[in-house]
Structures are given as C-alpha cells and as structure tokens.
Structure 1
Amino acid sequence: MYSLLIDHLSTAVLQLNRELCIEYLNPSAEMMLEVSRRRIYGQDLASAFNEDDASRSALLAAIESGHAFTKREAEITLTTGKTLLCDYNVTPVMGALNNTDSLLIELHPRDRMKRISQEDELIANHQTSKELIRGLAHEIKNPLGGIRGAAQLISRVFDDEGLKDYTQVIIEESDRLRDLVDRLLGPRQLPQYQALNIHRVIERVNQLISVESEGQITLVRDYDPSIPDIIGDESQLIQSVLNVMRNAMQALINQTDNDHKQITISTRTLRQFTIGAKRHRLVCRLSIVDNGPGIPENIMKTLFYPMVSGRPDGTGLGLSIAQSVIHQHNGIIECNSQPERTEFNILIPIETSVTG
C-alpha cells in the first residue's frame, strides 16, 4: 500500500539496506537518476549515482546512530556521467528490534529550480528592456518626425542646390535613426502562425550560413526526426535562428588560432519541461554549439539586451530580436559559454496554439 503511494510521488525516493544496496526506488527516482529499478535492485548505491566518500560515510553513520540528516546542494554523478545538483533528506527506518533496517532517501533536484529562477530573471529583464525601448522610441520618433518635416520645408524654400544638400543630409540621417529605432523595437509584423517542421527552418538557416561562411565552418547535424510539428511563424523563426547562428559564425571566423571551426546543431524533445513559471507537456529544444573563443563573462548577463555586443563591429540587435521572436512563441533562448564551447538553447513549446 505504502509503496503504491510512494510510486505516485513527484519526489524521487530510494530505500537502501544496511549495506547501502538499493531495495526500492520510485518512478520519479528512475527518471531523475536515468536508471531502471528492475536492473539495479539489490545492487550498491553506486549503480544509481556516486558522491564523495564523506557522503557515503555519513550514510553508514546514519544507519548506526539512527539519526536523520539533510544535505544541501550536493553534487551527485549519475552512471551516464551527468552531474546533478540536489538536496537530499536521509531518514533511518527502524525495524522490529529497534535497530535501523534501512535508509529512506528523498532527492530534491536544485538544477531545475535554479534554471527556472534564471529564466524568470531573463524574462523579466527582457520585458523591462522592451518597455524601456518602447518609451524611448516614442520620445525619439516624435521630434524626429518634426525635424524631418522641417528639413523638407526648408529645402523647398532654398534655390541654392548646395544648401539643399545639407537639408538632404538631415532627412537621410533622420530616416536612418528612425530605422534604427524600428529595429530596436523588433519585428513590426504580427506573426503568421502555422504548423511547421523545425528542421525545415534549420536547413534554410544552414544554407545561408554555408554561403556566408564560404566553407570556413563545418556544420554538424544531430537531429531527432520524430519531433512533431511546432506552431510558429516560419520567416520569423528563420530570422531568429539565423541571428544566433550568425553570431556563432562570426565569432569563429574572427578566431585565427582555430583550425577546426565547427557549429553543431541538434534537436531534441523534452517532456514535462518548465519554461519560466509554466510547465509544458512537450518542448522542442534546438541547440546551437560552437567551438569558438566563448562569450566574455562581463556581457553574459546582458547578452540579450539591445545594443550589447562582444564585437567591435556588432550592432547588438541580433540576439535581442531573436529573444523577442522566441518569446512570441512562448519560448526562451538560454546561453552557456566557456572557451571552446558556447551553447545556445532555443526552447519552444510544442502546442496546438500560440498566443502572441
């Protein structure tokens, strides 16, 4: 009866005997530890995950003393090589002779909560920057229209062609500034949502990157062909993915000490995945990984802000626009970077409808 109840818990639960061999784990623990309970019953705890020797000693001490304990932010290594950050509670279970028969371990992953917190911050910062840009755009475009109109009127009054050249400069620079403000605001057209295959979007971008890079970069494809169609605006998604890929391409091309410039594009589905505060049944993850120099640490937190760029000739608009487009698709773009590995993950829910 009790095991049936524990099987339905979302918390990962394991039971160990006095020799730290696994007697039971629930389905949540199977998913978290990426193991099958049928295969590891009766085996040592190391068949599920490893931690340092001190932690193993603490488990044995809990068996002898009968005292429960909690460990915060423990790093456990799965048999797949993956490392998880988690909290866990250890509770001794007493037997008939008032001795500890087994240990009950409850695992609470922190990686997911940490990622959700980071996503919430990213979404809030992006929304704040959008509101700031909208207000700034309004304050710029109003007087800008007046300046342009005045320059046009003045050009009609003067007969001197030399003076008209000056007014034309005012008009052209006003138009250039207006276009820059429009680009800061992102896509001006409403998305045209339809069912589409994400790999068609990626392949179109790959064609463009191959042409622009002139064969200097190797593109590696690692697709999951079983991913269902997503609902999205194809042209906007192409532009968004292209902005991310182009950033990777330019970073690689500017790197003179790299003889094997490579971008790896992979797709996967994630089940019961949370984006921000909302949980989705199915999410498409598009990963773009390059082996370039990495992103400077001083701009990582502001990477998706407008006008932030790590290149002297960069406008700082590409990633900001890409993030805005993915937000319109209820998704998000995340980034992790270190030398020789920069990874952008574009996460888009696979749903039947999308709200702008």
Structure 2
Amino acid sequence: MPDNDNLHRLLLDNLTTATILLDGELRLEYMNPAAEMLLAISGQRSHGQFISELFTESPEALVSLRQAVAEAHPFTKREAQLTSLTGKTQTVDYAVTPVICRGQTLLLLEVYPRDRLLRITKEEAQLSKQETTKLLVRGLAHEIKNPLGGIRGAAQLLARELPDEALKDYTNVIIEEADRLRNLVDRMLGSNKLPSLVWTNVHEVLERVCSLVMAESEGRIVLVRDYDPSIPELMIDREQMIQAVLNIVRNAMQALTGQSDLRLGRIHLRTRTLRQFTIGHVRHRLVCRVEIIDNGPGIPAELQETMFYPMVSGRPDGTGLGLAITQNIISQHQGLIECESHSGHTRFSIYLPLDPGASSS
C-alpha cells in the first residue's frame, strides 16, 4: 500500500475535476492532470509561479483569494471568465477552500468548466430536435406518398380512356407533378442506406469538394486550405461525406456570390485533431474537426436555430434540404455538426471520431 502522501497524490491525479493547490502567497504548489489539460500548461514546470502567470481572471479575484487566505474563508464563484496563457477564454465555476497544513494556509481550487456542459446540453437538444424532425417527416411522407400513388395511378388510367391524344397533355402534367412531389418527399426522408465505411483520408474528400466548387464558381472565389497532415485515415463513406461537405461549401459559395465584389470572397477549409472530446453521451479520445469558414454576410439570426430542419432555407430558390441531409450523414457517422455565424464570419464545424471502437461514456 502507498503511504498517505502518495495515496492522496494518486487520488488527486485521477480526479476528472481540475484541482489546483496554491500556497499562502498564491503561488502554485500542485495541479492535477485535469487542471493541466484545462489550462494547457505543465504543473511541474509552473511550480512556484504566481497565479496570474497561470491564468487571468477579474482583478477582484485576486482580492478574494487573498481574503480567503487571511480569513480562512471558503467561497464559490459562478460563471467566471478564465483566460489561459494561450489566450483561450473559458466560462468556469470554481470553489476555493482554505486548508491549514503545517501551520500555513493553502488554497485548494476546484475548477468546473461550464463551456463543455453548455455545449453538451446544446448538442443533446440539437440531437433531440433532429430525432423529432425525422419522426415528423417520416409520418408526413407516409401520409403524402399514399394519396400521390393513387392520384398517379388514376391519371394513368384516365389517359388510356381519353378519346383525344391532345387531352393527354393534362394527365401527363398530373403524373409529372405527382412524380416531382414523390421525389421531393424522398429527398426529405434522406437515404435509408447505411454508410459504406472504408478507410479514407479526409483531405481527399476536401480536395474533391474544392475541385467541384472551383469548377462551379469558375475560380472567382478564393479557397484557403489549412490541413493537419498528421490526421490518420477515418472510417467513413467517402461519397456521403463528399456530399455532406459539398452542401456546406456550396451554401457558402452561394452566399458569397451575392456580394458586390466576388474577389473578396474566401472559403477557408481547416482540419485539426481534438483530444477527449464528447459527442452526445460518448467521450472520444481523439476526433477530427473539419471547419468550413466563409466571410460572407452570415446566416440570419432567426434561421440559426432551425437551419438544420428540412425545408428551411434563407434563399428564395433554396430547397432547404442541403443542411438537413448533411446533418443526417454526419449523425450516421456518429459525428456532430455545429455552426456559429455573424456578419462577415460563418463557421461550420464537423466532428468525426477517430477512435469509434475505443470511445467510452
């Protein structure tokens, strides 16, 4: 059995809560691996550094910490904006507990990231909406396709009984419109075929999309590639993934073509890997993030909550099916798609597991 000090260190090292220990002068005594990951620094190298050299918060925070040391008074702060040395700002809750040890007062900080919880909550709501939409669309499609089949069959029978060939133009219109509605419903439903997964380089997918978009835009839009070449191959359906990314990039292209000066239009394609990323209820050791960023006018605020629903479009001539199809494809790959948009900046982020077999709850 380890001695008490080693046992305590072992317990702290294996906590998923970011834990930081400061001395009475607010200098670092210890931080566990969860805190190192949160702040993106090494606890061993940062030992003895003043707290503001580890991260920054509001000026009042230092006053509260010094008061906690002087009065041995614990406190909790909600929704603090913590900025790490890398410049990344996170919303966190933290609890400060004074600890008397060998005649001196230490401060134990327990930091709880809120951004991840908020993102998971938003993601779960998005997935719930997606499932509800699927059920609604499938029920509606069933109710539409049954009478459409009857209308089409009746029109065909009527065409055979007409005495004048010229009158068949009218029955042909009925048949063609019934077929058009059936095809629209099928597109709303999306493909029922499971993805045909093969090991694929994600950059091959992006390059294929780039070549298609460059041909469509006749080279008038600048495409910027920012790839991480170390990303390993993924188990994906290549054709489906091309369709998913193409729908997003094509939307960006169409948004940019509405600008007065096309030469200023830029679409940025970026790939990166992320560690310990949660999708739904599953935490993955490693995921691939594909970002599609454009400098167009942005998505109207009133559409941002519903843009993944079928038949929702910001363009008069849009079908509103592209993003719904994209979300369905990404979901079939156990992935996630997110969007943030304002004037001059729209970013779609696609997250795909790199370790689907090693994921854990």
Q: Normalising by structure 1, what TM-score?
A: 0.95
Q: CA deviation at 1:312?
A: 1.7
Counterpart code for 1:316: G
Deviation at 1:258, TM superposition (A): 6.7
317-326 vs 211-220, which deviates more? Answer: 211-220
Answer yes or no: is the 8 Å Cα contact 2:221–2:262 preserved in 1: no
Say which of 89, 107, 120 aligns to 2:95: 89
Q: Deviations over 1:190-209 (max 9, x none)?
A: 32111111111111001111
Matched, 1:240 2:244: yes
The correspondence for 1:50, drawn from 38, 42, 56, is 56
1:101 Cα offset (Å): 2.0
Q: Is the 8 A contact 2:335 2:351 kept in 1?
A: yes
Structure 1 unaligned segments of length 5 or more: list them: none
Residue 47 of structure 2, aligned match among 32, 41, 44: 41
Once the two structures are superposed, what CA deviation does each residue of 1:213-251 show, in whole Å capped at 9, x if it has no partner? 122211111111111211111111110110011111111
Contact 1:231 1:353 in 2 (8 A): no
C-alpha separation in 1, matches of 2:302 and 2:118: 21
Q: By how many angstroms is 1:188 displaced?
A: 4.2
Are 2:156 and 1:152 equivalent residues in the alignment? yes
Q: What pairs with 1:164-243 in structure 2 (closer than 5 Å)? A: 164-243=168-247
Match of residue 8 from structure 1: 14
Q: Tell me which moved more, 254-263 or 195-204.
A: 254-263
1:351–1:41 Cα change, 3 Å: closer
For the residues of structure 2 that align with 1:96 and 1:199, how far apart are their CA atoms? 57
1:314-338 alpha-carbon deviations (Å, 9 max, x no partner): 1110000000011111111111112
Aligned to 2:333: 329
Per the alignment, residue 253 of structure 1 pairs with: 257
| Cα displacement string for residues 154-213 of structure 1 (whole angstroms, at most 9, x for unaligned residues) | 111112123111000000000100010000011243321111111111110011111111
Give percent identity, aligned residues only: 56
Q: How high is the TM-score relative to the length of structure 2?
A: 0.94
Q: Which runs of 5+ in 2 are unaligned?
A: 1-5
Secondary structure, in 3 states, of the residue corresponding to 2:304? helix
CA distance in 2, matches of 1:310, 1:288: 18
Residue equivalent to 2:267: 263
Please give the alpha-carbon distance, in whole angstroms, between the structure 2 residues aligned to 1:210 and 1:18. 61
CA distance in structure 2 between the aligned counterparts of 1:66 and 1:190, rounded to whole angstroms: 60
Confirm whether residue 118 of structure 1 aligns to residue 122 of structure 2.
yes
Q: Quote the offset at 1:300 in angstroms.
A: 0.8
Q: 1: distance between equivalents of 2:297 and 2:251?
A: 12
Other structure's SS at 1:335 match: strand
In the alignment, is the contact (CA less than 8 A) between 1:117 and 1:276 conserved in 2?
Answer: no
Is the 1:231–1:351 Cα contact (8 Å) retained in structure 2?
no
Shift of 1:353: 6.0
Letter in 2 for 1:173: E
Farther off after superposition, 7-16 or 316-325? 7-16
Match of 2:66 in 1: 60
Q: Does residue 24 of the first structure (1) align with residue 39 of the second (2)?
A: no
Q: CA offsets, 1:50-102, max 9 Å, x none?
A: 001111111111111101011111111111111011110101111344xx522
Deviation at 1:256, TM superposition (A): 2.1
Deviation sequence 1:108-163 (CA, Å, 0-9, x none): 11111111111101111011101110010100000000000100111111121231
Cα distance between partner residues in 2 of 1:9 and 1:190: 39
Is residue 2:331 matched to residue 1:310?
Answer: no
**Corresponding residue pairs, total:** 352
Q: Any residues of structure 2 matched to 1:130-149 within 5 Å, and which?
A: 130-149=134-153
1:176 corresponds to which letter in structure 2?
A: R
